[in-house]
Amino acid sequence: MTPPAFQRRTRYLLGLTVCWVFFALLKLYDDYDGFTSVMGAPIVATVLTVLVFPVVVLLGQGLRFHALGRCWYGNPKVAVLLLTVCLVLLLYGESMGLTQTVYEEVDEVTRSRLPAVVSIPAFLGFLFAVTYWPGRQVGESRRKESGKLK
């Protein structure tokens, strides 16, 4: 039996790791400029993780409301749906036509990107689903060990 604080720390560590890896890979992918990007990726990923992950933790506080928590933890299909929708938007949003034209003054190039109105909520939803993935609750495991839950 694992204590709730340990479960919370494990969830946060997993969410932080996924967030950091995502930002580090994004820095290497976006306008890769050799060794400078390799050196800067961990720094940028750390700063962005520190800025973004507290928002995910605040969103997770909504699960303390009985109805939301019961819906989220009681039915893993909700988490699977959220994770799937967010990943589809992040990976295939541009090919589905969700684009925004951006003029980059440094390169003097016009590029098409996923708009922030779509990408930021999709990324936060993805991190939320990974961090608060429904698993067996502590109270449920106690009842199962005592034989009251079949």
Model's pTM, two decimal places? 0.75
Query: Is the model's pLDDT at 64 over the cut of 50?
Result: yes
Which residues contact residue 65 at a Cβ distance below 8 angstroms, ignoring those fewer than 6 apart? none
Domain hosting residue 75, numbered range: 5-134
In a domain, 140, yes or no: no
Which residues have a Cβ under 8 Å from the Cβ of 33 and sit 6 or more positions away?
none
Distance CA 103, CA 19 (A): 27
Is the residue at 145 inside a domain? no
Look-up: residue for tokens 């190039």?
A: 109
φ and ψ at 100, to 5 degrees?
Answer: -140, 130
Mean pLDDT for the stretch of residues 46-60: 88
Overall average pLDDT of the 52-79 stretch:
89
CB-based contacts of 140: which residues, under 8 Å, 6+ apart? Answer: 149
Q: What is the mean pLDDT of residues 6-15?
A: 79
Do the domain assignments include residue 141?
no
